[in-house]
Structure 1
Amino acid sequence: MPMSERSFLGLSAAGFHRVAYTQWGREDAARTALCVHGLTRNGRDFDALALDLADRWRVACPDVVGRGRSGRLSNPALYGYPQYCADMAALIARLGVETVDWVGTSMGGLIGMLLAAQPNSPIRRLVINDVGPFIGKAGLQRIADYVGKDPVFEDLAAVESYLRFVLMGFGRLPDEAWRHMAEHSARPRPDGCYGLAYDPAIAEAFKAQPMEDVDLWAVWDRIRCPVLVLRGATSDILLPDTAEEMTRRGPKARLVEFAHTGHAPALMTEDQIAVVRSFLLED
């Protein structure tokens, strides 16, 4: 199925910014899916999933502002969920559809939760990948320890080695998946080396407040669409008790856990893709 690189203008309090996305599948597909990545990642993480879904869906995989090919915000304080939700609403409007299926990993899952909890939400079915309405500060601190750093790498092999370490929770992936992530996570520097393809300033808002537990149960309880929750068996972000509680209250989600995986399942392997596809195909 064809893939194209596209973009639109989002608006913040500091002015307009470019939001890039990849689109897969036919323009006239009966359904549209949005796949939204984690905190420091980008939309190309979903290439394998999007390719699989593209026979039935038009799939849009955005680079959230500050990541990948998208623009940067001049005021780092604006990097936060209000801006991310506004940009994703603008993308849905750009796509010209009334309903979407949503697949969100970590940060992308939280954006999906926030949008799905709104009155008249366009989200038809929601897949939340390894995040939930309660996040303990210990897991957040682990992320804070590496987000916002601006390392320099001699070559793509060094980028790949770094990603294999900080993203070890993605689990057992083939070498080509790690190479793919390295290629799309690297930013060429003027000195011939590589940096990471995200704005280190995204960490400023993340670290602006003292690290505390996140409690979004009030948001969760307002969600009305069907929800599938995916969890890495050793995740320190979506804890077992939280995942189980998500099946008992609010939208009473379906829960699938993947062995040999932490935070977060990469959604790049056949078994994980099949679980997502099967859920989204349900009416």
Structure 2
Amino acid sequence: MVELRDPLAEPAARQTRLQTVDGIALALEEFGNVPGADIVYAHGFGQTRQAWLSCARATARAGWTSTTYDARGHGQSSWLESGDYSVDQLVDDLRQVCASRSQAPVVVGASMGGLVGIALAGQALDACRALILVDITPRWEAAGVERILAFMRAHPEGFSSLDEAAEVIAGYLPHRAQRKSPERLGSLLIPDADGRLRWHWDPRMLESIAHDGVSHQADLMQAATRIRVPTMLISGSESDVVSESTIAEFLHLVPHARHAVVEQATHMVAGDENTRFAGLVQRFLDELPSD
């Protein structure tokens, strides 16, 4: 267990950039400063590090150094000139972010970030101290993923305003009572040369990563069997990406893993029910063995 900090104190935030071995500059943001108590958050496809803002601040207030980063081709991180993205690149990026910390960190990965976390934890057994997966398993429900991809393929022409984008997102997430604020939308959209707002990720990634991810399923299943660090899967009760069968399969592959369900949450667990999600994360962290 780590030392609890003042829950009312806002943790200091530091923005840095990490150069990868293949020349990509990853945008990182760190909250808190506790040597030897590191967490790295890996976001889902089409998101940015801002998706983790509330949880990263909460764990920093609890005495951890919380690091979020934009995956390559997302947010403020570099885009590949070639447009030739792969899952292996994303795994290598996470490996380098983890290696840049003061010690092997806890990795929290949602969706794409979770798959990358599974691959890393199964390939490099000392790369992370523990693993928290958010609504993702090595085998996923194709219909749920296709629904997400359909949304991401829509509106290639972008949006005329933040209000228009907010309307589209509200239609995609009808269960959320509150719309995204202009500040939060600003991290997901960038103005193009024609003045329209487009998603803040490289559109060339979509089909290549989607196809590459499917081809990696067998490798991810094997990687899961090699995970030795403390592991927790947090799923949403209303998710269409994981199911009882894929969760049971994962728990068979990783028999020491724990599983918790967040009621009324969809695949976007942290965004749907952040308080309950953050509470589960903190409980898991509190129960980790001391080094």
Band the TM-score falls in, shorter-chain normalisation: 0.7 to 0.9
Q: Is 1:253 matched with 2:257? A: yes
The question of whether the paired residues in 1 share the 8 Å contact of 2:109 and 2:116 is answered with yes
Tell me, in whole angstroms, the C-alpha distance in 1 between the residues paired with 2:212 and 2:38. Answer: 36
Q: How far does residue 121 in structure 1 lie from its aligned partner after superposition?
A: 2.4
Tell me, in whole angstroms, the C-alpha distance in 1 between the residues paired with 2:53 and 2:19. Answer: 23
Match of 2:132 in 1: 127
1:128-147 matched pairs, under 5 angstroms: 128-147=133-152
The question of whether the paired residues in 2 share the 8 Å contact of 1:220 and 1:250 is answered with yes
Tell me, in whole angstroms, the C-alpha distance in 1 between the residues paired with 2:177 and 2:17. Answer: 30
Q: Judging changes above 3 Å, is the alpha-carbon distance between structure 1 residues 158 and 243 closer, same or farther for their aligned structure 2 residues? A: same
Secondary structure, in 3 states, of the residue corresponding to 1:69?
Answer: coil
- In the alignment, residue 59 of structure 1 is paired with which amino acid? S
Q: How far does residue 227 in structure 1 lie from its aligned partner after superposition?
A: 0.9
The question of whether the paired residues in 1 share the 8 Å contact of 2:262 and 2:276 is answered with no
Q: How far does residue 2 in structure 1 lie from its aligned partner after superposition?
A: 0.9
- In the alignment, residue 152 of structure 2 is paired with which amino acid? V
Per-residue deviation, residues 197-238 of structure 1 (Å, max 9, x unmatched) = 111011131355797894432221110111110111121211
The question of whether the paired residues in 1 share the 8 Å contact of 2:15 and 2:27 is answered with yes
**Percent identity (aligned):** 23
Q: Is 1:61 matched with 2:71? A: no
Secondary structure, in 3 states, of the residue corresponding to 1:205?
Answer: helix
The question of whether the paired residues in 2 share the 8 Å contact of 1:148 and 1:201 is answered with no
Q: Is 1:31 matched with 2:37? A: yes
The question of whether the paired residues in 1 share the 8 Å contact of 2:28 and 2:70 is answered with yes
Tell me, in whole angstroms, the C-alpha distance in 1 between the residues paired with 2:164 and 2:136. Answer: 29
2:208 to 198, 201, 205: 205
Match of 2:238 in 1: 234
Per-residue deviation, residues 82-132 of structure 1 (Å, max 9, x unmatched) = 10111122222333x331001100000011111111243221111100000
Normalising by structure 2, what TM-score? 0.85
- In the alignment, residue 165 of structure 1 is paired with which amino acid? G
Q: How far does residue 23 in structure 1 lie from its aligned partner after superposition?
A: 1.0
Match of 1:244 in 2: 248
Tell me, in whole angstroms, the C-alpha distance in 1 between the residues paired with 2:51 and 2:177. Answer: 12
Match of 1:73 in 2: 80
Tell me, in whole angstroms, the C-alpha distance in 2 between the residues paired with 1:164 and 1:118. Answer: 39
Match of 1:195 in 2: 198
Q: How far does residue 251 in structure 1 lie from its aligned partner after superposition?
A: 4.1
Match of 2:269 in 1: 265
Match of 2:286 in 1: 281
Aligned length: 274
Secondary structure, in 3 states, of the residue corresponding to 1:182?
Answer: helix
Secondary structure, in 3 states, of the residue corresponding to 1:33?
Answer: strand
Match of 1:109 in 2: 114
Q: How far does residue 270 in structure 1 lie from its aligned partner after superposition?
A: 1.4
- In the alignment, residue 92 of structure 1 is paired with which amino acid? C
Q: Which runs of 5+ in 1 are unaligned?
A: none
Tell me, in whole angstroms, the C-alpha distance in 2 between the residues paired with 1:180 and 1:281. Answer: 32
RMSD over aligned CA atoms reads 2.4
- In the alignment, residue 125 of structure 2 is paired with which amino acid? N
Normalising by structure 1, what TM-score? 0.87
Tell me, in whole angstroms, the C-alpha distance in 1 between the residues paired with 2:83 and 2:238. Answer: 32
Q: Judging changes above 3 Å, is the alpha-carbon distance between structure 1 residues 209 and 5 closer, same or farther for their aligned structure 2 residues? A: closer
Tell me, in whole angstroms, the C-alpha distance in 1 between the residues paired with 2:58 and 2:210. Answer: 37
Secondary structure, in 3 states, of the residue corresponding to 2:269?
Answer: coil
Tell me, in whole angstroms, the C-alpha distance in 1 between the residues paired with 2:49 and 2:268. Answer: 15
The question of whether the paired residues in 2 share the 8 Å contact of 1:136 and 1:212 is answered with no
Compare the two structures and name the one with the higher strand fraction: 1
Tell me, in whole angstroms, the C-alpha distance in 2 between the residues paired with 1:4 and 1:219. Answer: 33
Q: How far does residue 156 in structure 1 lie from its aligned partner after superposition?
A: 1.5
